[in-house]
Amino acid sequence: GQQVMQIPQYQHVQEGEDFTTYCNSSTTLSNIQWYKQRPGGHPVFLIQLVKSGEVKKQKRLTFQFGEAKKNSSLHITATQTTDVGTYFCAQGYSDKLIFGTGTRLQVFP
Amino acid sequence: DTAVSQTPKYLVTQMGNDKSIKCEQNLGHDTMYWYKQDSKKFLKIMFSYNNKELIINETVPNRFSPKSPDKAHLNLHINSLELGDSAVYFCASSKGVLSTEAFFGQGTRLTVV
């Protein structure tokens, strides 16, 4: 079946450090979505990327879609303790929304 | 008003029992999903339901069955519960299947003892 791998699986950073998670697909993607799940919470939509090479920013978060539309990244500049959670990429595939394996971010004050 | 609501939030039950989890969305969406999140936080799709068409993930045991009385509801029924069914189950909905954001319910933590 379709697989979407994310790396790293876990990341611990000191507050103020940057963080990046990468999402890789075995096939070309029509679009990619990113979600954040706080501890004990539910996934919440952050953004969708559609175009090859697209870059979008939300405050300290930068999202990128690869030129070949097979990978994507989420970069957080100067992490804060409120950034703690698991970040998932997701892709539509065969009438299903498939989630990546997720990257769990821990931020130490 | 909560966009996607699930009940119950917590469910503890014994092996072999049958249970249901309810999901309702008030967003007017055509597509609803059920996901299972295990202890490693992997989100695995179980079902998607779009315009009365059910798409089943082939890895889901047939003890799990979705039931949709109308477009706003997609309930999950589980027969003969097993220990390995313990997980958090999320319901979600979206306008379309592939290219629009999904809105998630709060989740149901199922514990089978």
CA angle B53, A28, A84 (to 5 degrees): 85
Q: Residue A56 pLDDT more than 80?
A: yes
The dihedral formed by the CA atoms of B41, B45, B48 and B54, expressed in degrees to the nearest 10: -150
Nearest CA in chain A to B101: A45
Buried b (16+ CB within 10 A) or exposed e, A75-98: bbeebeeebebbbbbbbbbeebbb
pLDDT in tens, A60-86: 999 999 999 999 999 999 999 999 999
Is residue A97 helix, strand or coil?
strand
A73 CB near a chain B CB, below 8 Å?
no
Contacts of B87 in chain A (CB under 8 A): none
- Beta bridge partners, A84, equal none
pLDDT in tens, B13-57: 999 999 999 999 999 998 899 999 998 889 999 988 887 778 777
| Dihedrals phi, psi of B82, to nearest 5 degrees | -120, 160
> B48, exposed or middle or buried, with CB in 10 Å at 0-12, 13-18, 19+?
buried
B48 CB near a chain A CB, below 8 Å?
yes
Q: Residue A3 pLDDT more than 80?
A: no
Q: How confident is the model at residue B107 (pLDDT cuts 50, 70, 90)?
A: very high
> A17, exposed or middle or buried, with CB in 10 Å at 0-12, 13-18, 19+?
middle
Q: How confident is the model at residue A1 (pLDDT cuts 50, 70, 90)?
A: low
* Contact between chains at A43 and B99 (C-beta distance less than 8 A): no
CA–CA distance, A18 with A78 (Å, rounded to integer): 5
pLDDT reported for residue B99 = 63
pLDDT in tens, B54-85: 877 778 999 999 988 888 999 999 999 999 99
Contacts of A31 in chain B (CB under 8 A): 98-99
Tokens read off for B12: 């503890």
CA–CA distance, B29 with B3 (Å, rounded to integer): 10
* Contact between chains at B42 and A30 (C-beta distance less than 8 A): no
Q: How confident is the model at residue A97 (pLDDT cuts 50, 70, 90)?
A: confident
pLDDT reported for residue B98 = 64
Mean pLDDT in residue range A8-24: 97
CA distances from B103 to A15, B27, B92, B110 (A): 29, 9, 5, 20
pLDDT reported for residue A98 = 87
Q: Does A93 or A10 have the greater pLDDT score? A: A10
B51 CB near a chain A CB, below 8 Å?
no
pLDDT in tens, A19-48: 999 999 888 888 899 999 999 999 999 999
Of A12-16, B45-49, B109-113, which range is least confident? B45-49
**Nearest-CA distance B37 → chain A (Å):** 10
